[in-house]
């Protein structure tokens, strides 16, 4: 049972209600699931919206300026709701870690500001938070403080499992090392325990999470990611294993071999490129060149010809010229990603790049982003068309509101919308692909075992 209960030996939040709003990445979603589980264990109940809750908890993302702006406007809108009901309002996660003073000043009605390493303490603090506001922004995370298996999960079939947290890379644009701290690895046995328990509950897919999963090392045995994948694959019931995020510098032949030889590891990889220009990659401190990246992709494609690739790209990094950007476009053309996440550069506090002049005009950044996304959309449409007519395995994540329509993802992590006469939510099925758009595939349930 959760630590929160053991500390007091009672359901200390009995009768209270909570609402969690999550901004940001998969790790934030997983952190919110952990927090929700702790609150449930302490006796609190989830509310449908902030108006009905005693505790309004906002889990935040600091990675780009835009995400912080969105958060600030959300916190602004919560003021009235909080005051009307006298609720406790907490700002948690990465923005809390980065901007604690600024937050307290800008939003004097915040009751709690807590960074990403202290979710385990939140229930007890909420209980005691009647008079004073609190600020918690430690740098160390103690995995033993958290329940191994969060009870509250967004999906009943696909689960995020955090294996490491933090980053030692210090890419010059990135705030992550300043909010999540240095790399901390979760013990392998604790990861396996969580995955076993997920399989007992019927989960079919696990996504192993970390800012830099390639550098995973079991603190007890020194086992790396390839061995972790092999051990997770031994757990019966789990059908698909994914891992995110890989760093191109550390993505090596051993991992490619593990992906090829362990049947359950999906032939799908998210490998953030950031830029196709060597000059910019160096300024970003990414520690690889475009040739290194291409070489790794070639090796991967020759070992796993059906690999589905996705990436992150930043446009408008300081000093980026039209030629630099063309180099990025060129790699888009050569690699043919199934999906990309692309962003306009924005300077982040404390990062090395924030000391450079943000000299690419906003309209140039927008123009490059549009060109990148327009070309990528065409590539995606071409790739998706090549799947039409095939029958693929799909993990059905749920029904849509319209009758007989279901949504899921294929092994390549593409969205598949399909028709089925029977309810196949939370099951692995086969779907015959009959059509597509740039962002999704569609089809019909195939009458074959998955
Ligand atoms: N750990 C991952 C991703 C971290 S953040 C990695 O190694 O790449 C997710 C993405 O946000 C990054 O890949 C990057 O493309 C984008 N990003 C990070 N900082 C940014 C900034 N200052 N401006 C614009 N995009 C940024
Ligand atoms: Fe940020 Fe770079 Fe670490 Fe990714 S690898 S989290 S981009 S510092």
**Local structure of 10: helix, strand or coil:** coil
Q: What is the pLDDT of residues 37-52, one digit of tens each?
A: 999 989 999 999 998 8
Is the model's pLDDT at 237 over the cut of 50? Answer: yes
pLDDT at position 153: 82
Q: What is the pTM of this model?
A: 0.91
Residue 23 lies in a domain: yes
Q: What is the DSSP-derived secondary structure letter of residue 150?
A: -
Q: What is the mean pLDDT of the chain?
A: 92
Range of the domain at 72: 2-136
Q: What is the mean pLDDT of residues 367-375?
A: 98
Choose one of 249, 284, 312, 369 to mutate for the ligand 1 pocket test, by most ligand atoms within 8 angstroms of C-beta. Answer: 312
Is the model's pLDDT at 62 over the cut of 70? Answer: yes
pLDDT confidence of 118, banded at 50, 70, 90?
confident
The domain tally of the chain equals 2
Q: Kindly report the CATH number assigned to the domain that includes residue 53.
A: 3.40.50.12160
Q: Please state, in angstroms and rounded to a whole number, the distance separating the CA atoms of residues 449 and 438.
A: 28
pLDDT at position 353: 98
Query: Closest Cα partner for 345 from 366, 375, 370, 324?
Result: 366
How many of the other CB atoms lie within 10 Å of CB of 58?
23
Domain end marker among 85, 102, 136: 136
Which residue pairs, CB below 8 angstroms and at least 24 apart, start in 104-113? 104/133, 104/135, 106/72, 107/75, 107/76, 107/79, 109/79, 109/82, 109/83, 110/75, 112/88, 112/136, 113/137
pLDDT confidence of 136, banded at 50, 70, 90?
low
Instruction: Give the Å distance between the CA of 174 and the centre of ligand 1.
Output: 6
In percent, how much of the chain has pLDDT > 90?
82
Domain end marker among 80, 115, 136: 136
Residue 313 lies in a domain: no
pLDDT at position 167: 95
Domain end marker among 136, 164, 191: 136
Residue 286 lies in a domain: no
* Nearest ligand (C-alpha, residue 173): 1
Q: What is the mean pLDDT of residues 333-350?
A: 97
pLDDT confidence of 272, banded at 50, 70, 90?
very high
Q: Kindly report the CATH number assigned to the domain that includes residue 395.
A: 2.40.50.140
pLDDT at position 125: 85
Q: Which atom of ligand 1 is nearest to the CA of 272?
A: 8
Q: What is the pLDDT of residues 162-215, one digit of tens each?
A: 999 999 999 999 999 999 999 999 999 999 999 999 999 999 999 999 999 999
pLDDT at position 205: 98
CB 163 within 8 A of CB 191: yes
Is the model's pLDDT at 362 over the cut of 60? Answer: yes
pLDDT confidence of 129, banded at 50, 70, 90?
confident
Q: What is the mean pLDDT of residues 320-337?
A: 98
Choose one of 176, 275, 285, 352 to mutate for the ligand 2 pocket test, by most ligand atoms within 8 angstroms of C-beta. Answer: 176
147 versus 348: the higher-pLDDT residue is 348
Instruction: Give the Å distance between the CA of 128 and the centre of ligand 2.
Output: 36
Report whether residue 245 contacts ligand 1, using a CB cutoff of 6 Å: yes
């Amino acid at each position: 049972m959760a630590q929160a209960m053991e500390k007091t030996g009672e359901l200390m939040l009995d009768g209270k209600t909570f609402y969690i709003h999550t901004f940001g990445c998969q790790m934030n979603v997983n952190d919110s699931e952990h927090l929700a589980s702790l609150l449930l264990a302490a006796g609190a109940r989830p509310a449908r919206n902030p108006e009905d809750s005693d505790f309004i908890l906002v889990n935040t993302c600091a990675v780009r300026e835009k995400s912080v702006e969105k958060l600030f406007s959300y916190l602004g809108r919560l003021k009235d709701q909080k005051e009307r009901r006298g609720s406790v309002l907490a700002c948690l996660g990465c923005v809390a870690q980065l901007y604690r003073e600024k937050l307290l000043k800008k939003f004097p009605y915040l009751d709690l500001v807590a960074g990403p390493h202290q979710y385990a303490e939140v229930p007890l603090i909420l209980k005691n938070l009647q008079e004073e506001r609190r600020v918690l922004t430690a740098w160390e995370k103690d995995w033993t403080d958290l329940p191994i298996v969060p009870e509250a999960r967004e999906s009943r079939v696909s689960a995020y499992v955090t294996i490491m947290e933090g980053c030692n890379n210090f890419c010059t644009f990135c705030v992550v090392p300043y909010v999540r701290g240095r790399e901390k690895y979760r013990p392998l046995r604790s990861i396996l325990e969580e995955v076993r328990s997920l399989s007992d509950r019927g989960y079919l897919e696990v996504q192993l999470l970390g800012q830099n999963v390639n550098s995973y090392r079991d603190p007890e045995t020194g086992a790396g990611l390839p061995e972790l994948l092999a051990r997770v694959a031994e757990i019966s019931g789990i059908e698909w294993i994914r891992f995110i995020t890989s760093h191109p510098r550390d993505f090596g032949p051993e991992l490619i071999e593990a992906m090829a030889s362990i049947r359950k590891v999906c032939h799908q990889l998210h490998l953030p490129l950031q830029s196709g220009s060597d000059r910019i990659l160096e300024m970003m401190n990414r520690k690889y060149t475009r040739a290194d990246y291409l070489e790794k992709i070639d090796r991967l494609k020759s070992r796993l010809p059906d690999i589905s690739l996705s990436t992150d790209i930043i446009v408008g990094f300081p000093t980026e010229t039209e030629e630099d950007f063309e180099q990025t476009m060129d790699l888009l053309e050569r690699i043919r990603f199934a999906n990309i996440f692309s962003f306009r550069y924005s300077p982040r506090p404390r990062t090395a790049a924030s000391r450079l002049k943000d000299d690419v005009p906003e309209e140039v950044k927008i123009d490059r982003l549009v060109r990148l996304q327009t070309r990528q959309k065409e590539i995606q449409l071409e790739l998706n068309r090549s799947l039409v007519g095939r029958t693929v395995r799909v993990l059905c994540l749920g029904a849509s509101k319209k009758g007989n329509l279901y949504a899921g993802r294929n092994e390549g992590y593409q969205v598949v919308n399909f028709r089925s006469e029977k309810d196949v939510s939370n099951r692995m099925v086969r779907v015959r692909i009959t059509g597509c758009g740039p962002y999704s595939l569609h089809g019909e349930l195939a009458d074959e075992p998955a």
